[in-house]
Amino acid sequence: TNAGRGRAALVTGGASGIGRATVARLRDEGWQVLLADLNAENGKRAADELGATFVRTDVSDEDDVAAAVAATVEAFGRLDCVVNNAGVGGAFGALTEIEVADWDYTFAVLVRSVFLGIKHGALAMRAAGNGGSIVNTASVAAFSAGAGPQAYSAAKAAVLNLGKVAAAELGPDRIRVNTVCPGLIVTPLIGDAVEAARSVMDEAQPWPDLGRPEDVAEVIAFLAGDASRFVTGEEITVDGGLRAA
Ligand code: NAD
């Protein structure tokens, strides 16, 4: 299709997993894509393979995020969509044991990043006056205690609310903000935990397969483009029924 023709998107965490699949999906629709990732080796390779432009970016750093937004406008002359997707598992363990530095790192990469992507993305979109779409990646972990590590779950809940706050603030500028909440998706993030994911799936997920990055990318692409033009402040769960069951 050519739904993205002439449009430009910035995708964070585009070097791997859900982000990489999102870059591929948007490129298929004709979007121009700036792929921002901390991992320069994987980022450059993915960008080369998918026809995107790579900029090494630490999403927890304000200067880096501002620079990635500026690089998108510079490369393509516009910015229509920001996908705030980069993430890490972050601190593991009980709240009584997590060190403050690990807690802060988790929130910097998962929450500060989304705030910065919204802030600088919206400033650029507002300056251009053409509206836009911001899509954030939370998780089913946002909804309950049991679906992820403690700090990660709390951070993803913050991402979910941030999407609503931003949608309320930016609606008058025709900037939409939505959230995708993946369930168990096979990517390097879950890595060695794939067997653990499979046993959670057997117990709690109605659909009998684990999710693929492409399953999430499809929904992100829907939220990125005009097909969802009246959808904002919303979340879509992509989890094979895990949350519902
Ligand atoms: P992934 O590990 O395959 O990809 C994450 C990417 O983010 C990597 O390329 C990594 O280099 C990049 N990254 C990490 N820290 C960064 C930083 N500070 N700055 C810039 N880039 C950074 O993981 P994934 O599974 O594709 O995860 C993508 C998003 O989806 C994350 O926000 C994750 O929390 C969320 N998510 C994943 C699952 C799942 O089951 N895989 C479930 C729910 C939510």
Nearest atom within ligand 1 for CA of residue 64: 19
Quick one: which of 160, 71, 76 has its CA closest to 120? Answer: 71
Q: What are phi and psi of 114, to 5 degrees?
A: -70, -40
Looking at residue 228, which CATH number applies to its domain? 3.40.50.720
Residue 58 lies in a domain: yes
Q: Is any ligand 1 atom within 6 A of the Cβ of residue 45?
A: no
Give every CB contact of residue 2 below 8 A, 6+ residues apart in sequence.
Answer: 29, 30
ipTM of the complex: 0.99
Report CA 63 to chain centroid distance, whole Å: 19
Q: Is-contact 160 181, C-beta < 8 A?
A: yes
Quick one: which of 134, 182, 177, 138 has its CA closest to 160? Answer: 138
Q: What is the pTM of this model?
A: 0.98
Number of domains in the chain: 1
Residue 244 lies in a domain: no
Indicate whether 146 pLDDT > 90. no
Active-site residue among 150, 152, 155, 224? 152
**What is the DSSP code string of 171-236?**
GGGTEEEEEEEE-SB-STTTGGGHHHHHHHHHHH-SSSS-B-HHHHHHHHHHHHSGGGTT--S-EE
Residue 102 lies in a domain: yes
With tokens 């993205």, the residue in question is 4
**pLDDT (tens digit, 9 = 90+) per residue, 50-103?**
999 999 999 999 999 999 999 999 999 999 999 999 999 999 999 999 999 999
Paired tokens of 47: 């960008």
Q: Hey, what's the torsion of the CAs at 14, 17, 18, 19, to 10 degrees?
A: 0
How many angstroms separate the alpha carbon of residue 208 from the centre of ligand 1?
Answer: 24
Residue 154 lies in a domain: yes
Residue 245 lies in a domain: no
Residue 240 lies in a domain: no
Nearest atom within ligand 1 for CA of residue 138: 44
* Residue 177 β-bridge partners: 134
% of the chain exceeding 70 in pLDDT: 100
Residue 57 lies in a domain: yes
Paired tokens of 157: 């809940």
pLDDT class of 47 with cuts at 50, 70, 90: very high
Residue 222 lies in a domain: yes
| 152 is a catalytic site residue | yes
CA distance 122 to 85: 16
Q: In the prediction, which pLDDT does 67 show?
A: 99
CA distance 98 to 227: 42
**108: domain range?**
8-235
The strands making up 235-238's β-sheet, listed across from edge to edge, are 53-56, 32-37, 8-12, 81-84, 132-137, 175-182, 235-238
Give the Cβ contact number of residue 145 at 10 Å. 9
Q: In the prediction, which pLDDT does 191 show?
A: 82
